[in-house]
Amino acid sequence: MIEVKHLTKRYGNNTAVDDISFSVKPGMIYGFLGPNGAGKSTTMNIITGCLAATEGTVTINGHDVFEEPLEAKKHVGYLPELPPLYAEMTPAEYLRFVAEAKGVSKEEMDYQLSYVMEKTQITSMQDRLIKNLSKGYRQRVGVAQAMLGNPEVIILDEPTVGLDPGQIIEIRDLIKSLADEHHTVILSSHILSEVSAVCDYVMIISHGRLIASDTIDNLSTILVGSRVLHLTVKGDLNRIRQVINRLADQAKTIRYEESSEDRGIDVYDIDIEVEKDIDLRETAFRLFCDAKCVILKLYAETIGLEDVFLKLTREYDEQYRVEQRLAALDQEENAFAPKEDDRPADDSGDNDPRPVM
């Protein structure tokens, strides 16, 4: 669908995007996540053909964005962070203008306009001036224009910025519905809860570099390095120990003690640590049930996207500062290194200016 290879964008000595490569598969919602100034919007603008790259390639359905811009752009709908709306137009007028600019045929025009307005729930607002619409409705108009032309890929740059909580939920539901209709959605955001709520796959960018790319669950598991199964079980201690012994072969460590939360008799907290690719939940459940022990609580430990994001970006920030400092030291060293013309004259006899006696 989309292939990005070694994408780089420089502004003078500043590198906004630094050798990014990734691929986007159809029918999924991708979250492009990073701090403010990380290079998200720059990358989105390059992918959509709004900005030239310094180096690298972007292909959409086999069409190079820089070599075949018109063909490539037919497959992409784009909502910038600031929607390109004309305030003196109505949504109906504006969407018709965009549809004509995208080359939508006259036969398809009315159907597409009706469809995108219905999908984004702006039909009732189609004859009002855009300048009189709320921020939420203006954002919906922006999404509607991105959908015109029925593109396979829809790219949304910070689609919920400035919206109230109710409007945010509505836009998120709209984004999910786009994926349900087999669109591929790339969602750029610095809001962790937003990405966690709607995205199937996460790409984390920091200082212009892609530092992680995977599902949220996989990123969590990789960072933790192992899975921990937590149980609270009520039952005879000897029977609980028998179950623990049967689980021991698959576990790295098993710890159990009287429950700190439930002060009842024969209630124990059990922590079972296993390798990150092992899931013992079903096995443990069946063994404790067979042993006539009541499971009061069972859950696998996970870390949220916020923890993943903070850990990865902080680690990379440290690495980036070290790299920048080393580069600065190299520049200082080169600046003070003697140049060819500055080297002292050779003191050997061959260069002695005194006459030979």
The answer to whether residue 252 scores a pLDDT higher than 70 is yes
Please tell me the predicted confidence (pLDDT) of residue 341. 57
Helices 281-290 + 237-247 axis angle, to 10: 140
CA distance 337 to 267: 72
Quickly list DSSP for 19-46. Answer: EEEEEE-TT-EEEEE--TTSSHHHHHHH
Give the pairing of strands 55-60 and 2-11: antiparallel
The proportion of the chain whose per-residue pLDDT surpasses 70, expressed as a percent, equals: 89
**pLDDT at position 228:** 84
Chain segment 134-173, per-residue pLDDT in tens: 988 999 999 999 999 999 999 999 888 888 888 888 888 8
* Residue 39 pLDDT exceeds 80: yes
Q: Can you state the percent helix, strand and coil of the chain, rounding each to 5?
A: 40, 25, 30
Residue pair 122/147 in contact by the 8 Å Cβ criterion: no
User: In this structure, what are the phi and psi dihedrals at residue 6, rounded to the nearest 5 degrees?
Assistant: 50, 45
* H helices present in the chain, as ranges: 40-47, 69-73, 91-101, 106-119, 135-147, 165-180, 192-198, 216-224, 237-247, 281-290, 305-336
Tokens of 228: 């921990």
Distance CA 23, CA 5 (A): 8
Is residue 349's pLDDT more than 60? Answer: no
pLDDT at 239: 95
4-8, 296-300, 316-320, 348-352 — most confident range:
4-8
> For tokens 């939940």, what's the residue?
281
Q: For all residues of the chain together, what is the average pLDDT?
A: 86
Tokens 């939508």, residue? 104
Taking each continuous run of H as one helix and of E as one strand, the counts in the chain are 11, 14
Q: Please give the pLDDT value at position 261.
A: 72
- Position 141 scores a pLDDT of 95
CB < 8 Å & 24+ apart, contacts of 351-356: none
pLDDT score, position 346: 54
- Edge to edge, the sheet with strand 76-79 lists 76-79, 153-157, 184-189, 29-33, 201-206, 209-214
pLDDT in tens, 193-211: 788 888 889 999 989 999 9
Which amino acid, 356? V
Q: What is the pLDDT of residue 356?
A: 45
Supply 196's token pair: 């966690």
Name the least confident of 41-50, 94-103, 112-121, 297-306. 297-306
Whether residue 357 is predicted with pLDDT greater than 50 in this model: the reply is no
Q: With bands split at pLDDT 50, 70 and 90, how would you rate the model's confidence at 27?
A: confident
- Least confident range from 247-256, 264-273, 301-310, 315-324: namely 301-310
What does the radius of gyration of the chain's CA atoms come to, in whole angstroms? 29
Backbone angles phi, psi at 256, to 5 degrees: -145, 150
Cross-strand partners of 17: 9
Residue 11 in this model has a pLDDT that exceeds 70:
yes
DSSP string, 80-114: -SS----TTS-HHHHHHHHHHHTT--HHHHHHHHH
- pLDDT one-digit tens code per residue, 209-227: 999 888 877 777 666 666 7
What confidence score (pLDDT) does residue 43 get? Answer: 92
Rounded CA-CA distance 256/254 in Å is 7
pLDDT of residue 324: 77
In this prediction, residues 182-199 reach a mean pLDDT of 84
What average pLDDT does the segment 111-134 reach? 95
163 SS3 class:
coil
- Dist. CA 217–CA 214, nearest whole Å: 8
Give the C-alpha separation, 83 to 101, whole Å: 16
The residue count of the chain comes to 357
Task: State both tokens at 347.
Answer: 């003191």
Per-residue pLDDT band at 96 (split at 50, 70, 90): very high
DSSP run (H or E) holding 2: strand 2-11
